[in-house]
Amino acid sequence: MEHDSSRDFPPREGSSLPGEWPSALGQAFSQILHHLTGQESRRGKARDVALQDLSALIEATDCDKLFEGSGTSLHGMPEMLGQVAKALEKYAAPPKEQEGRSDGHSAVAEKAAAVGLLFLKLLTKVEAAKSSLVCPAWKTGLTHLAGPIYIFAVTHSWKQPWTSPRSQNVAGEVLTLLLQVTECGSVAGFLHGENEDQKGRFTVIMGLLKPDLNKESWKNNPATKHVFSWTLQQVTRPWLNQHLERIIPPSLLISDDYQTENKILGVDCLHHIVLNVPAADLLQYNRAQVLYHALFNHLYTPEHHLIQAVLLCLLDLFPVLEKALHWKGDAARPTTHCDEVLQLILTHMEPEHRLLLRRTYARNLPAFVKRLGILTVRHLKRLERVILGYLEVYDGPEEEARLKILETLKLLMQYTWPRVSCRLVVLLKALLKLICDVARDPNLTPETIKRALLEEATECLILLDHCSQGQVKGLLAKILQSCEDSKVVNCIRKVQHVSEGTPYGET
């Protein structure tokens, strides 16, 4: 029997919304929407009653009645359900972030669990309507419901300050049922469409997030940035390039914040865009240059996590930027953006004493040498100073910085070998000092790390010998006569054997 909602929700005086609805069901939903969004919504008791009434109303209403009136009526039930879903999503959203305060999160989790149960009931009605011949309007209803329900599910599905295990479970069930109802095998399919004929919902989601992603409002809801970032990461080639105007401004906005956490989140969004948008689209309207300058400015921030994210993004952006460069063979090659970044990195590396930053810079240095190749010769003097300085300093048990510096030195000698022989004495002293320090290290460094350092340093000596036409072998011969350390002697003999033509692996 159909629920007579007009008895439970009579038209309110002074409210134009209920009077506009021709059906009692529409008036009932309009009353609930008024309770959720009006002045009364500030009173918790009124909202709790509205949620209870909504739950009872959904359960008592047949699916054919729930989605009626979507034809020529401007105020059909699908549109009303969409408005209710938006109100519920806003009701369960976490409050504005306040530094030093984390209270109220338990209340948000409780509200999210209650709203999630309502969304499960709504989606169950949609699933039932799909198999009903008398209810063809379910598709229209789902169109209005899918966006707000998705935002709610992503907001509360993962561990956050405002979630609890129960709210996460309920939100996860909502997302699973949403994918089932929309007949999508994954969130990516839900967003960009499962096939060419199916239109995805990414545009709708970005439209719903847009009011909360401008300069004045993006911090009002701490979940918005996470929903945007996670949603963006789900859409890849070849679907992302058509949404550039919707995704680049919010990504730049988030990355430009004063909080390091938000900077990293924004840089990760920009990195995803760089990886999944064709170079031609990034070069259009100077977008790639805009991204580059935004990223370059972050290199002045002494935060190792941020520096790591920025350098990885820049290394993938360089090939895009260099497509716009045209080199004529009769002139000197122009300096590139990679040159500019490497110059700044080396400037920061020389005086840097913080271990985490030293490791971050050293970790990415080999990639820059590979990127520039023989053009690394432009930075050879400064690279030499950095390499010598970093080889002297103990970097902790893992020795990440010194291992990466040795890798950089090997690449540098391979690419710029004609310029290496004049630096023979300086490099040989630094490598031998490193080998002696590692060999005499009593217990600070694990044996596996020691072996790795000795092997890398030995390979550098072999390359140095090749670059100097065998001079290293002659200089090392004198050391063998006086050296008593077996590890040092072993490294020297490997260099001599390989220099004489014996493969390194057979020594």
Express each pLDDT in 439-498 by its tens digit.
888 777 889 999 999 999 999 999 999 999 888 888 888 787 777 778 888 888 888 887
Q: Which residues contact 397 (CB under 8 A, 6 or more apart)?
A: 444, 445, 446, 449
Cα–Cα nearest to 457, from 422, 430, 477: 430
pLDDT digits (tens, 9 = 90+) for 113-167: 999 999 999 999 888 887 765 566 677 888 889 999 999 999 999 999 999 999 9
CB 202 within 8 A of CB 235: yes
**pLDDT value, residue 324:** 73
Beta bridge partners of 101: 98
CB 395 within 8 A of CB 356: no
Angle between the 304-322 and 287-298 helix axes, to the nearest 10 degrees? 150
pTM of the full structure: 0.88
CB 431 within 8 A of CB 457: yes
**Number of Cβ within a 10 Å radius of residue 477:** 11
Q: Which residues contact 472 (CB under 8 A, 6 or more apart)?
A: 424, 428, 461, 464, 465, 495, 499
- The more confidently predicted of residues 306 and 5 is 306
Residue 365 buriedness (CB in 10 A; 0-12 / 13-18 / 19+): buried
**pLDDT value, residue 269:** 98
In this structure, what DSSP letter does residue 443 have?
Answer: S
Q: Which residues contact 229 (CB under 8 A, 6 or more apart)?
A: 254, 265, 268, 269
User: Which of 22-31, 293-302, 401-410 has the least mean pLDDT?
Assistant: 22-31
pLDDT band for position 74 (cuts 50, 70, 90): very low
What DSSP assignment string belongs to 11-26?
PPTT-HHHHT-SSHHH
- The more confidently predicted of residues 504 and 219 is 219
Q: Is pLDDT above 60 for 22?
A: no
